[in-house]
Structure 1
Amino acid sequence: MINVLLKQIFGSKNDREIKRMRPVVGQVGALEPAVSRLTDQQLGAKSDEFRKRLADGAPLDDLLPEAFAVCREMSKRKLKMRHFDVQLIGGMILHEGKIAEMKTGEGKTLVATLALYLNALEGKGAHLVTVNDYLAKRDAQWMGPLYHHLGLSVGIIQHETSFLFDPTYDPEDKRLLYLRPCTRREAYRADITYGTNNEFGFDYLRDNMVTDLDQCVQRELHYAIVDEVDSILIDEARTPLIISGPTEDSTDLYYRIDRIIPGLKREEHYTIEEKTKTAALTEEGNEKVERALGITNLYDPANMNLVHHVVQGLRAHVLYHRDVDYVVKDGEVIIVDEFTGRLMPGRRWSDGLHQAVEAKEEVKIANENQTLASITFQNLFRMYDKLAGMTGTADTEASEFAKIYNLEVVVAPTNRPNIRQDFPDVVYRTEKEKFNAIVEDIKDCHQRGQPALVGTISIEKSERLAGYLVRQGIKHSVLNAKHHEREAEIIAQAGRKAGVTIATNMAGRGTDILLGGNPEFLFKKTLYADPEMTPERQASLQAQIQAECE
């Protein structure tokens, strides 16, 4: 009762934090008239002025109002987007090394530019960590003109390549517009570097395996903003990143064990623990395996290797499922990331599990791997001098962020009152009843012209639901790891009238779906297909697409 009373009098801790930042927002606003009178060149030269002041001993916090005002003005000119006051608050939260919870659609990508610009002025590098390569590339291309005109370089780290943002570079592949290929070291030497949590982690591990410091690509881990911070720092916190190398073991044993596993029955011959994804043989199971292998004691020290192979074979058959945990593509088993729903080519499960899955799917078995280096995201991100994050859902995990990372969560207010309705969950007796209800809901939305986005937990479920819609004659798009090449196109179309999009969790984070569709993307796509189009035809087409999307 006393706590409730005190909260009503003094406000919550979050309210007090926001109130503390309001005067600084006023200072940034007061600078706007003077800053708006500067030319583009004078505005860009402000970065050098700020760097000189930092070199002369000025604290970074003292530069905040001016740096934010300069960044806001340049964004208004080059991106046609002016930071709202609540976005300035979001930028301050990130600069202070805290987590900004901002509702969906509040413009977190733009908010990050404020804190990245300010912290990059120190010349030690600033990292923007996203959940996938698509978002890293998209955000860097989108925000690149802002940083470029402010005199900052931008690097982009991708799975198999890296780029520097260069507005003079015109590649043949227009999807890589302004992205000039460079070495990984050059991308990390940029003032600001965009990349995924996996790439930053694996580059850190590789740097720790080199024998010559000149081969290292990263520099000191100075400042990072983690986008979708709850997904990376909580959901995936204990996920180890592992670099492995091949061993000399033969692969024949995997095929031999694989022929035995289908004859074993659950509970009678083995038990499983689905949460930890482990399996164990029962006494009857031990005896059956011993008979099948022609040995007298499976647990004799000389046969310990067989026990390991049998357990991994069991896990491959009963705990790892095709089109859920992995897909088979071009005769190769490719892991599906359980958090992002994306394919992870080149990644392999360790300790013989990947080989057991390959034997199960009757594809060529590669040699078993041994671990050479490993680190968890939790340990990786705690090494940064200053860490911040942003997401739409962090307040519920505030205690975990505080305990594990010493990070405070601040909920930023919305620019306008939220009119979206959030309904409670609906629970059905059977999966069939649930799918029938989903299909009826989709039919209703489709008939009313309302676009619908349906989230599913696996590739298998997304394709099963797609099958229901095909039988109902409802036109739809499917976005999962099997169709990831069309991701940008599917997302751009998802908000169109009566559009139906079925997606796995790969589309659940960081992707913007505009109601009516994304006219700019659709126009660019048509333009890439016909680069010789006349200016008159371009203008006509742009007007036509704009009208269709409104």
Structure 2
Amino acid sequence: MISNLFTKIFGSRNDRTIKNLRKTVALINALETQLEALSDEDLRAKTAEFRERYDNGQSLDDILPEAFAVVREASKRVNGMRHFDVQLLGGMVLHQGRIAEMRTGEGKTLTATLPAYLNGLTGKGVHVITVNDYLAKRDAETNRELFEFLGLTVGCNVPGMMPQQKKQAYTADITYGTNNEFGFDYLRDNMAFSIDERVQRPLFYAVVDEVDSILIDEARTPLIISGPAEDSSDLYIEINKIVPLLELQEKEDEEGVEGDGDYTIDEKSKQVHLTERGQIKVEDLLTERNLIEEGDSLYSASSITLLSHVYAALRAHKLYQKDVDYVVKENEVIIIDEHTGRSMEGRRWSEGLHQAVEAKEGVKIQNENQTLASITFQNYFRLYETLAGMTGTADTEAFEFQSIYGLDTVVMPTNKPMIRDDRADLVYLTQEEKYEAILIDIKDCQERGQPVLVGTISIESSEYLSQFLRKEKIKHNVLNAKFHAQEADIVSDAGLPGTVTIATNMAGRGTDIVLGGNWNSEVEKLDNPTDEQIAEIKAAWKIRHDAVIDAGGLHIIGTERHESRRIDNQLRGRSGRQGDAGSSRFYLSMDDALMRIFAGERMTNMMRKLGMQRGEAIEHPWVNRAIENAQRKVEARNFDVRKQLLEYDDVANDQRRVVYSQRNELLEEGDISETITAIRGDVLAGVIDQYIAPQSLAEMWDVPGLEERLKQDFLIELPITQWLADDNKLYEEKLRERIEQSVEQSYKQKEEQVGDSVLRQFEKAIMLQSLDQHWKDHLAAMDHLRQGIHLRGYAQKNPKQEYKRESFELFSEMLENLKVDVVGILSKVQVRAEEDVEKVEEQHRKSENAPREYQHEEAEHVGGEAPQSATVMARTEPKVGRNDPCPCGSGQKFKQCCGKLK
């Protein structure tokens, strides 16, 4: 109550922020008359002036009022569009590295030109990030003329570009592109074999459009570059035949004893689990097909690969539906983005799930993949010096933006008051009744000439509704991943009087629905239109526009609630743009996924007890609250999943930074001989320690063993036994020095034989090749560790702490193995000429340039329960404790001997 009183007196934090920014808006507006008097050349010259001032020490904040005023004046001259005051406010919020929540139709694309120009003055590169290629190309072309008028260069970064084209796009002052492409370019740059192959500059400033879609919805899907591993197509086909023979167990009985089913489904966590009966049945079926030995368990170390295949097939059949989670197009399974409804060509699920879906659908099974590089969007976007974003719906996720990205959310006032009529939800008992009610609403709107946008949450729902409308002979358009190419035309017609448009998830469509239709698209269809033709089109549009306004504006119908309130708000936000009239209503049924999972049978029984008749609906604030609470539960769970993913990926991120930093240094250094010498010294010291333990008696030394080991690892024969016989004062320290000198001398002889420059080049090639191979193997080991880490919870251990500890051990082990590998190759390989170096480089390039997949990983189980992908790591020898005696027989503790971290 006190806080409410405080807000009433002083205004909310958001209000105070806007009030402070309005002072700068007044300064920008005061410059307008002065800039209007400038010629085009003088206005353009302002860019050079601003750059000089910045180079001389002025901050961008000092330049901001004049820079924003210049952009506004240039936009008036080039595009005939003047930035509103609310767009100036949005531009300032974006420049400060915050999120600007701007309603649909308020002009986010134009708003982004302000901070993009200001930060583009630095020459460090500005990235404007959108959700798809179409928007990236459109926005780049729309704003190119404006920026080039002001003397700034514009690039566009989309998939399929040649490296040289990409490099050119990144050298531009302002680069438009998609979040995926920027992220994949970062990973590809860190797999490059030379500096020239890298395309990105240091990450400076980014504006993310539809920031909630990119930083929240897609934050559960790490970017993964992977290459083909072994082919196991036959195995997927065989196991695909087994799954249909398994029966679903509906529920456990009252005593908690399992029923007679083979598997259970947990819809909330999207997991499938084999029951004990199911495990036995699968083992029998696998034995019949000679896939496992008689009496072997599905959970034995030898069968663990089969176990992951079985669970992948179960998930493919029981959790992933055609036309909801994927479509089959041209004999290929293509993922559907659950957040945007778009098809995602080239993206594949990992952990064998994609291959299992391919087997289920009877299409060609493509090879499994090995992870080559990966990063989450959270960790990629946190690499930018300044990050900002804009969207129509961010306030509901403000806490997550602040806690994970450190981004404040500022809600922008609308240019004109919002007058849309958001009506209460109607809840029906069955889907059939719900669709009948939707049909009545659509018919009523069509008769009155009111355009209707019907939002569905899946392709399946949109096609079901489309069939329903066809039976009733109601003309309509369908906008989903199957009709991607016609999207612009469908959206431009969606505001015509009486038009019915069915859309699968409107988030990120990027095109406003203009009441009366889009007259610009009509003009664009004409070849060299005359002024008279344009005037006629505008006049006809004005009549249609007024008719639609009189009919009530665009009417939004939601066929069910999405898991997230934000997605529902995005659908509603398509109506009522720029103060237009509009209305919205959601129709629900107790059969809807959200209602079924979270409202359950209790609410259905209550509705029946109330004596609801067919066709009757509940419309009550209590129902709306129950639905909102269900959505909050899902949002909270999804937030926990994303946070958990981030906590796990932060461990990998620290390691990634070390490896990528080391790799970049290698690429930039022409001579890494000092590094190689240091590594050789470390490896050699470790080898000597195993046979001559530090500060040990000469009687405990294994000299013949050391001689043999040096011969094997360093290709050098040293008569150490003879040295000791000839010199009884050759103590441990001096002996070590003599061995080290001999090994160094042997390497120098190799250098003299092949030449200094050739060996330097060879060292670099081998170091890069080994680092890349060990990093790939380490990523696979980390995947296995992460997939099984939840099992530590059963041993009363914290899985996250265990993951951190064991991943550090794996990383330390990788670094040690890398050193040994590099030194071993350099010591043993005989380099004869520069051609040998080129062969090594070519071999590496071939492996790096092998066909790659850009994967869409299912990350929901991270750190949680995921038995379908758990991997059992079997030890061949007992584990040696850090304080146990070292197995090498030195008499020292393991941590001070062979277990010593170099």
TM bucket normalised to smaller: over 0.9
Counterpart among 538, 548, 554 of residue 546 in structure 1: 538
Equivalence for 2:62: 62
> Residue 543 of structure 1: CA displacement?
4.1
For 1:428 and 1:151, how far apart are their aligned partners in 2?
59
Q: Is the 8 A contact 1:97 1:387 kept in 2?
A: yes
Paired AA for residue 274 in structure 1: E
Deviation by residue 1:328-350 (Cα, 9 ceiling, x = unmatched): 11111111111221111111111
Equivalence for 2:272: 279
Structure with the greater alpha carbon radius of gyration: 2
For residue 44 of structure 2, give the secondary structure of its aligned residue in structure 1.
helix
For 2:60 and 2:159, how far apart are their aligned partners in 1?
33
Distance 1:508 1:123, change over 3 A: closer
Equivalence for 2:438: 438
Deviates more, 1:427-436 or 1:110-119: 427-436
Deviates more, 1:111-120 or 1:497-506: 497-506
> Residue 62 of structure 1: CA displacement?
0.4
Paired AA for residue 315 in structure 2: R
Q: Does 1:115 align with 2:97?
A: no
Deviation by residue 1:285-313 (Cα, 9 ceiling, x = unmatched): 11211221114222222111111111100
> Residue 151 of structure 1: CA displacement?
0.9
For 2:161 and 2:504, how far apart are their aligned partners in 1?
26
For 1:276 and 1:207, how far apart are their aligned partners in 2?
35
For residue 495 of structure 2, give the secondary structure of its aligned residue in structure 1.
coil
> Residue 438 of structure 1: CA displacement?
1.5
Aligned counterparts, 1:334-349, within 5 A: 334-349=334-349
Q: Does 1:223 align with 2:205?
A: yes
Task: State the 4+ residue runs in structure 1 displaced beyond 6 angstroms.
Answer: none
Equivalence for 1:171: none
Counterpart among 229, 238, 242 of residue 256 in structure 1: 238
For residue 421 of structure 2, give the secondary structure of its aligned residue in structure 1.
coil
Aligned counterparts, 1:120-269, within 5 A: 120-161=120-161, 183-267=165-249, 268-269=261-262
Q: Which has the higher helix share?
A: 2
Aligned counterparts, 1:370-389, within 5 A: 370-389=370-389
For 2:199 and 2:166, how far apart are their aligned partners in 1?
6
Q: Which has the higher strand share?
A: 1
Q: Is the 8 A contact 1:479 1:507 kept in 2?
A: no
For 2:202 and 2:75, how far apart are their aligned partners in 1?
29
For 1:72 and 1:110, how far apart are their aligned partners in 2?
10
> Residue 542 of structure 1: CA displacement?
3.5
Equivalence for 2:308: 308
Q: Is the 8 A contact 1:238 1:378 kept in 2?
A: no
For 2:139 and 2:433, how far apart are their aligned partners in 1?
40
For 1:425 and 1:383, how far apart are their aligned partners in 2?
42
For residue 350 of structure 2, give the secondary structure of its aligned residue in structure 1.
coil
Deviation by residue 1:359-393 (Cα, 9 ceiling, x = unmatched): 00001111111111111111111111001111111
> Residue 544 of structure 1: CA displacement?
4.3
Deviation by residue 1:412-435 (Cα, 9 ceiling, x = unmatched): 111121111222333222222222
RMSD: 1.6
Q: Is the 8 A contact 1:230 1:393 kept in 2?
A: yes
For 1:467 and 1:547, how far apart are their aligned partners in 2?
36
> Residue 499 of structure 1: CA displacement?
0.9
For residue 219 of structure 2, give the secondary structure of its aligned residue in structure 1.
coil
For residue 387 of structure 1, give the secondary structure of its aligned residue in structure 2.
strand
Equivalence for 1:497: 497
For 1:453 and 1:485, how far apart are their aligned partners in 2?
19
Question: Unaligned 5+ residue runs, structure 2?
Answer: 250-260, 288-293, 543-902
Q: Is the 8 A contact 2:226 2:373 kept in 1?
A: yes
Equivalence for 2:35: 35
Q: Does 1:323 align with 2:308?
A: no
Deviation by residue 1:99-119 (Cα, 9 ceiling, x = unmatched): 111122111111111111101
Distance 1:340 1:160, change over 3 A: farther
Identity of aligned residues (%): 62
For 2:119 and 2:176, how far apart are their aligned partners in 1?
14
Counterpart among 277, 284, 289 of residue 291 in structure 1: 284
For 1:230 and 1:514, how far apart are their aligned partners in 2?
24
> Residue 508 of structure 1: CA displacement?
5.5
For residue 215 of structure 2, give the secondary structure of its aligned residue in structure 1.
helix
> Residue 501 of structure 1: CA displacement?
0.8
Distance 1:182 1:39, change over 3 A: farther
> Residue 510 of structure 1: CA displacement?
2.5
Aligned counterparts, 1:336-415, within 5 A: 336-415=336-415
> Residue 540 of structure 1: CA displacement?
5.4
Q: Is the 8 A contact 2:44 2:150 kept in 1?
A: yes
> Residue 454 of structure 1: CA displacement?
1.0
Question: Unaligned 5+ residue runs, structure 1?
Answer: 163-180
Q: Is the 8 A contact 1:31 1:69 kept in 2?
A: yes
> Residue 276 of structure 1: CA displacement?
3.2
> Residue 71 of structure 1: CA displacement?
0.3
Q: Is the 8 A contact 2:208 2:388 kept in 1?
A: yes
Q: Is the 8 A contact 2:213 2:508 kept in 1?
A: no
For 1:494 and 1:507, how far apart are their aligned partners in 2?
16
For residue 123 of structure 2, give the secondary structure of its aligned residue in structure 1.
coil
For residue 31 of structure 2, give the secondary structure of its aligned residue in structure 1.
helix
For 1:312 and 1:138, how far apart are their aligned partners in 2?
39
> Residue 487 of structure 1: CA displacement?
0.8
For residue 105 of structure 1, give the secondary structure of its aligned residue in structure 2.
coil
Equivalence for 1:169: none
Equivalence for 2:790: none
Equivalence for 1:49: 49
> Residue 238 of structure 1: CA displacement?
2.6
Deviates more, 1:275-284 or 1:16-25: 275-284
Q: Is the 8 A contact 1:222 1:385 kept in 2?
A: yes
For 2:439 and 2:184, how far apart are their aligned partners in 1?
42
Paired AA for residue 205 in structure 1: L
Deviation by residue 1:427-473 (Cα, 9 ceiling, x = unmatched): 22222222222221111111111111111111111111111111111
For 2:496 and 2:350, how far apart are their aligned partners in 1?
43
Q: Is the 8 A contact 2:312 2:356 kept in 1?
A: yes
Paired AA for residue 248 in structure 1: E
Q: Is the 8 A contact 2:496 2:517 kept in 1?
A: yes
Q: Is the 8 A contact 2:90 2:111 kept in 1?
A: yes
Paired AA for residue 500 in structure 1: V
Q: Is the 8 A contact 2:455 2:506 kept in 1?
A: no
For 1:118 and 1:80, how far apart are their aligned partners in 2?
21
For 2:516 and 2:10, how far apart are their aligned partners in 1?
44
What's the TM-score, normalizing by structure 2? 0.57
